Amino acid sequence: MAPHRKSRPPSPMGIRTPALATAALTSVALLSQTANASPSEEPRPSLEEVEKKVGDLYRQAETASEKYNAAKEKTTKQKKRVDTLLDDVARRTEKLNDAREELGTFAAAQYRTGASAPDTASLLLADNPQDYFDQTQLMDRLTSRQKQSVDDYVTQQTATTEKRQEASESLETLTRTQSSLKTSKADVQRKLATARDLLSKLTTEEKARLAAIERQKQEEAQRKADELARQQAADAERRRQEAAQSTGTSTGTGTSGSGSVASTAKADKALAFARAQIGKPYVWGASGPGSYDCSGLTQAAWKAAGVTLPRTTWDQVKAGTTVSVNSAQPGDLVFFYDDISHVGIYIGDGMMIHAPKPGAYVREESIYYMPIHSVVRPA
């Protein structure tokens, strides 16, 4: 009789229904795709983000440009000083050699006659002739002519040593400034390259939308300029009437503020120069005649009127009298942003001439296109 075996129920793990098999295969496929998928790309920035980023980069580049301008101006001055000092050292060294040669002649004569030559020779070799001179009785053994030669030698060596030290320190300062100049230049180039890269990735449609945003900004700025023009005209008319009433005549012309005839004439010359530059390209670090940056244009304009302005916006803002925006007159300098990184020359009616930014040209524009920092009257 065959042994009786109890049948075991089939293990649930051994059952493979079509639905479960399909789900398993799908899971494996999804896991495989996830494992093999490349890292997700960064989300594309919105047009508004690009517009803001590019604007910020241009502003940062302009600030770096002003640092470059300051370092360049400082480098030019320091290089002239170093050249002057080195020329002075060369002249003094020549005089020192002449004094040394004369002392050497006396030393040779003393040696031939058996006099105390070692003292004179030691003086020539001494690191500090004055100390050696003070510590010896050499002068007691020298003639009046020899004494004068020793005095000349000591004086020339002391002066030459001082000038050499001064030239060395100036060279070190020049090296540091040149390094700062190089750093500022690289900073400008890096920021402008980033801005160009962002703009190059825009589609045709996005570029059109960006242009529309720019037009909207220009229109709003122009609206504010027109409002200022009306206000200034009303103020001028009010002053004219007040002047007529006080003098009993209506011949007054009225102005938008105080100013002498001489300063007005200078402002007219500065404006005439600025208008002649309209259409020339903005180039950072440029001060004419073929291209300009913002402070390069204002400096050149006032130079044409016989007024010397500093090179950078940070120095130009200190080179005159601060007035209110409502009192701005043609020729005044209008500065922008909290860091005073941009400047234009006021032409009246809320408008200015300025060198705007890379890729743009010298043009007329509302002063309200950017946040105003202050208005300064140079003359």
Active site residue 373: no
**Cα(160)–Cα(162) distance, rounded to whole angstroms?**
5
Neighbours of 338 (CB within 10 A): 7
Sign of dihedral through CA atoms 63, 67, 70, 76?
negative
From 74, 191, 354, 373, the catalytic residue? 354
Beta-bridge partner residues of 343: 335
Judge contact between 89 and 163, C-beta under 8 A. yes
**Cα(60)–Cα(67) distance, rounded to whole angstroms?**
11
Sign of dihedral through CA atoms 119, 120, 123, 124?
negative
Active site residue 354: yes
Q: Which helix (H) or strand (E) holds 61?
A: helix 47-113
Active site residue 294: yes
Neighbours of 121 (CB within 10 A): 16
From 123, 138, 167, 294, the catalytic residue? 294
Omega within 30 of 0 (cis) for the link into 330: no
Sequence-separated (6 or more) residues with CB below 8 Å from residue 123? 103, 129, 132, 133, 138, 150, 153
From 342, 357, 373, 377, the catalytic residue? 342
Q: What are phi and psi of 343, to 5 degrees?
A: -150, 145
Would you please indicate which residues are annotated as catalytic (active-site) residues? 294, 342, 354
